[in-house]
Amino acid sequence: MNDAKYSVTEGAVFHCETKQVPYPFQRAIPCERISDREKASYRKINLLSWPARGPHALSADTAWELVHRPNKTSIEFYLKTRAEQGYNVVQTVAVSKLNGTTRSNFYGDLPFNNSDPTKPNEAYFELVDWTVDLAASYGNLIALVSTWGMYVNGGWHSTERIFNESN
């Protein structure tokens, strides 16, 4: 990621600092306001650090089908709305779990030509890139999962394995 909005440390997209927050992470509380007794029962969460804004607790939403089902107008509405609501991360997946290799995205594009991961469909991944860039323009990060494990190990419902040692 070359965007200066994000801190890249040791090859990672996240520059993390550990802070104490109450489970289930509904809101962050400054460490100095938490008693030692309370700290013993709290879990840790990593903070995302933007150089311009400093550390921020991850406030994430998940939209697994974000780059697969909606059109650009809907994607833009979703990302803009989430930014306005205070989210700073959206998690999605590049290859959908719901017939992701056989059902096209809104624009009629499949992620791979002939379900072959060595032959990516550029049009499909241009939408993924566009979505990542759009999220960044709203000050948000896309936490992108490349694919579901079922495409690697056959998982659910004997899904066809398309990723293996040879590709």
146 lies in which domain range?
Answer: 59-167
Residue that finishes a domain, picked among 19, 42, 58: 58
Query: The domain that contains 155 carries what CATH number?
Result: 3.20.20.80
Q: Please indicate, yes or no, whether residues 90 and 145 belong to a single structural domain of this protein.
A: yes
pLDDT of residue 11: 28
Query: What gap in Å lies between CA 92 and CA 97, rounded to an integer?
Result: 11
**How is residue 12 written in tokens?**
């990672």
pLDDT of residue 15: 28
Q: Please indicate, yes or no, whether residues 66 and 146 belong to a single structural domain of this protein.
A: yes
Please report which helix (H) or strand (E) contains residue 40, including its range: helix 36-41
Q: Please indicate, yes or no, whether residues 2 and 29 belong to a single structural domain of this protein.
A: yes
Q: Please indicate, yes or no, whether residues 46 and 65 belong to a single structural domain of this protein.
A: no
Amino acid sitting at position 27: R
Q: Please indicate, yes or no, whether residues 94 and 65 belong to a single structural domain of this protein.
A: yes
> Closest Cα to residue 64, out of 89, 26, 41, 98?
98
By CB neighbour count within 10 A (0-12 exposed, 13-18 middle, 19+ buried), where does 40 fall? Answer: exposed
Residue that finishes a domain, picked among 35, 58, 81: 58
Q: Please indicate, yes or no, whether residues 90 and 36 belong to a single structural domain of this protein.
A: no
Q: Please indicate, yes or no, whether residues 1 and 41 belong to a single structural domain of this protein.
A: yes
Which residues are registered as beta bridge partners of 112?
Answer: 120
Query: What gap in Å lies between CA 161 and CA 150, rounded to an integer?
Result: 7
Provide the residue-wise pLDDT of the chain in tens; the chain has 167 residues: 333 333 322 222 222 233 333 333 333 434 444 444 444 333 444 445 555 566 666 788 899 999 999 999 999 999 999 999 988 889 999 998 878 888 999 999 999 998 888 999 999 999 999 999 999 999 888 988 888 777 777 776 667 777 777 77
> Closest Cα to residue 64, out of 87, 90, 92?
92
Query: What gap in Å lies between CA 67 and CA 143, rounded to an integer?
Result: 12
Query: What gap in Å lies between CA 119 and CA 110, rounded to an integer?
Result: 11
Q: Please indicate, yes or no, whether residues 95 and 166 belong to a single structural domain of this protein.
A: yes
